[in-house]
Amino acid sequence: MDEATRLDYLKVMGIECWHVRETLEQNTKTTISNKMETTSIPDNWEQLKQDVNNCQQCELCQSRTQTVFGEGNPNADWLFIGEAPGEQEDLQGKPFVDLAGFLLTEMIRAIGLTRESVFIANILKCRPPDDRDPKAIEIITCHDYLSRQKALISPKIMVAVGRGAAQKLLKTDEPLSKLRGVVHQLDNIPLVVVYHPAYLLRRLSQKQAAWQDLQLALKTYQKLETV
């Protein structure tokens, strides 16, 4: 997508571009680039993909069109995690597509990154029918796949996208309002909670709060880089 088309999409959605200072953006991109050049892909990454694609451990295998493994840089510092694939994700086999996916891409760009430089995954690898809430057994069944992804990627920071993902990752019923604005720890990795882009498309008034979430994540990452 060219820059003019991208800006037209944002204008129609009523969203202004977020920007960070050029020096900060360049430093972040350089760090990501250096890591991509010096880190090799784990030997069993393809095996994990195959395991996910062939999974029949719960009833979702009967209704899915295809699994949604996730996509991005397998050596990324940043891991974005949603709850479950939706209809279009199920059809395309990619996480966060359509307008919500486009907005998530813009949120990532706002902190000086690209969709290709981070990794985006879901807790569930298959779409629940009619986009219902995931069942406990489905979360348990898919847990191993996400754990293996985290181990292979070895991210420095994780971002829970939306209430569902945040509650399930942190094993809590706390509302999103209490989970945002705090740096959590999951497997000794900092985790920041952000609004789901689908929610932001319905509530553009929360754009400033979403920017604050992104800034918290970025500042947390920068502190890690200085240690």
Chain segment 105-139, per-residue pLDDT in tens: 999 999 999 999 999 999 999 999 999 999 999 99
Chain segment 143-187, per-residue pLDDT in tens: 999 999 999 999 999 999 999 999 999 999 999 999 999 999 999
What span, in angstroms and rounded, lies between the C-alpha atoms of 99 and 105? 10
| pLDDT for 113 | 97
Do residues 220 and 189 make contact, with C-beta atoms less than 8 angstroms apart? no
Beta-strand ranges (E) seen in 48-112 are 71-72, 78-82
Calculate the alpha carbon distances from 123 to 134, 138, 146, 197, 200 in Å.
10, 9, 6, 17, 21
Q: Is the pLDDT of residue 226 over 60?
A: yes
| pLDDT for 31 | 44
Q: In one letter, which amino acid is 129?
A: P
What is the pTM for the complete model shown?
0.83
Higher pLDDT, 48 or 40: 48
What span, in angstroms and rounded, lies between the C-alpha atoms of 141 and 211? 34
Q: Is the pLDDT of residue 36 over 60?
A: no
Q: What are the chain's domains? A: 67-226 (3.40.470.10)
